[in-house]
Amino acid sequence: MLLNSFTGNRNIKESLLGALASGRLSHGLLLCGEKGMGVNEFAWLLAADIIGADDVQSLKDGKNPLVQSVKGEGASGLIRVDRIRQLNENVSYSSISGEKRVVIIHNCENFNANSANALLKNLEEPKNDTTYILTTNNPRAIMATIRSRCGVYTLSAPSKEEVAAYFLRKKADMSAVNSLMDIYGENIGKIENALNSEKRYGILQNAVAVFNMIRAKDTYGIAKSCYVYVKAKDDFRLFLDDLRDICHRNLSDSSVKAIEVIHRYRGLMETNVNLNLALENFAVEISR
């Protein structure tokens, strides 16, 4: 089974594969996990096992009609109601050959009320040949009516030994991996992004530098470091996420206060904020 290749979460893998083998797998599954934990990859692997495929990439490329996937659109990632209605129409008829089918809905915290309600009927009255796999990085944002109709599985971080084995198989620089684990813990996705993207690693390094400036109350230094994002809101979001992770790994009175500021400005980045002014205010507030 392809799901066994996923690093960590052995109990969840055994539970799902056991239910699949015995025909007791729920028709609605909600996979939860922090960003970087691999909930979407887990969903693809499980979908492949449900339909008996041996090539996950063909599913991701949309080449297998037995698996359909839905993602949000635009910067907000909103899952639109018309997309769900089209999906419902596509799966409204049972497979003639009786083959299993899977629908994957990525990051379902991005439903609005209309799109969530459009999916509810299919979850309430599921067809025997169709399994819905929903993923989320924010389970608290999932409507109770959706959650109650799904089997809920929350992925946890693998062990340090499992993370090390994963990157050893990929022949990664283990010194860099260990340094990144000091910041990201055992979050494989975040570690992998930093290893594979020079830009992403640069944002992380800037966050490390700003964390040290926060402790030194260096408002000017923080402002100067943040100003590089004045025309790059998405990069500033990543910077804030990294800075929050660093603060969590180095808890103190100052880092707890910094986390509160980071959460507030992370929310502001989802609005039509004046980024130049926001960066200036951020530097002042987080260095107090």
Question: Is 146 part of a structural domain of the chain?
Answer: yes
Model-level pTM?
0.89
Residue 160 lies inside a defined structural domain of this protein? no
Query: What whole-number distance in Å separates Cα of residue 218 and Cα of residue 285?
Result: 11
As a residue count, the chain comes to 288
Residues 212, 146, single domain; the answer is: no
What is the residue type of 201? Y
In this structure, are 150 and 12 located in the same domain?
yes
In 3D space, the residue among 239, 244, 217, 243 whose CA is nearest the CA of residue 227 turns out to be: 239
Q: Evaluate whether residue 108 is within a structural domain.
A: yes
Residues 150 and 8 in one domain: yes
The label of the residue with tokens 């991005």 reads 110
Strands 28-32 and 130-136: parallel
In the numeric block, which tokens belong to residue 59? 């599913």
Region for residue 52 given its phi and psi (left: phi exceeds 0; alpha: psi -120 to 50; beta: otherwise) = left
**Looking at residue 125, what is its pLDDT?**
84
Q: How many domains does the chain have?
A: 2
Q: Read off the tokens for 143.
A: 């409507």
Furthest CA-CA distance within the chain = 68
Half-sphere exposure of 200 (CA within 13 A, CB side): 11
Beta bridge partners of 31: 135, 153
pLDDT of 122: 85
Domain CATH number, residue 47: 3.40.50.300
- Whether 261 maps to a domain, the answer reads yes
Which domain, by its residues, includes 39? 2-154
Give pLDDT tens digits for 157-181.
Answer: 999 999 999 999 999 999 999 999 9
Say if residue 24 is in the same domain as residue 145.
yes
The reply to whether 27 and 123 lie within a common domain is: yes
Neighbours of 127 (CB within 10 A): 14
- Whether residues 147 and 8 share a domain: the answer is yes
Q: Are 127 and 205 members of one domain?
A: no
- Identify the pLDDT of residue 192: 96
Listed residues 154, 188, 206: the one ending a domain: 154
Asked whether residue 168 is assigned to any structural domain, the reply reads no
Residues 8 and 150 in one domain: yes
- In a domain, residue 14? The reply is yes
Q: Which residues contact 69 (CB under 8 A, 6 or more apart)?
A: 59, 60, 62, 103, 104, 105, 106
Choosing from 122, 154, 186, the residue where a domain stops is 154
Query: What's the angle, vertex CA 28, arms to CA 27 and CA 29, rounded to 5?
Result: 120
Tell whether 119 and 248 lie within a shared domain. Answer: no
Pair 226, 91 in one domain:
no
Identify whether 226 is part of a domain. Answer: yes
Residues 31, 106, single domain; the answer is yes
Any bridge partners for residue 103, and if so which?
68, 132
Low-confidence ranges of the chain (pLDDT < 50): none
DSSP secondary structure of 16-85:
HHHHHHHT---SEEEEE--TTS-HHHHHHHHHHHHHT-S-HHHHHTT--TTEEEE--BTTTTBB-HHHHH
Examine the fold and report which residue of 154, 184, 208 is the final residue of a domain before the chain moves on: 154
Could you tell me if 150 and 238 lie in one domain?
A: no
Q: Could you report the per-residue pLDDT of 199-257, keeping only the tens digit for each?
A: 999 999 999 999 999 999 999 999 999 999 999 999 999 999 999 999 999 989 999 99
Q: Please indicate, yes or no, if residue 190 is contained in any of the structural domains.
A: no
Reported as type and span, the H/E element at residue 222 is helix 219-226
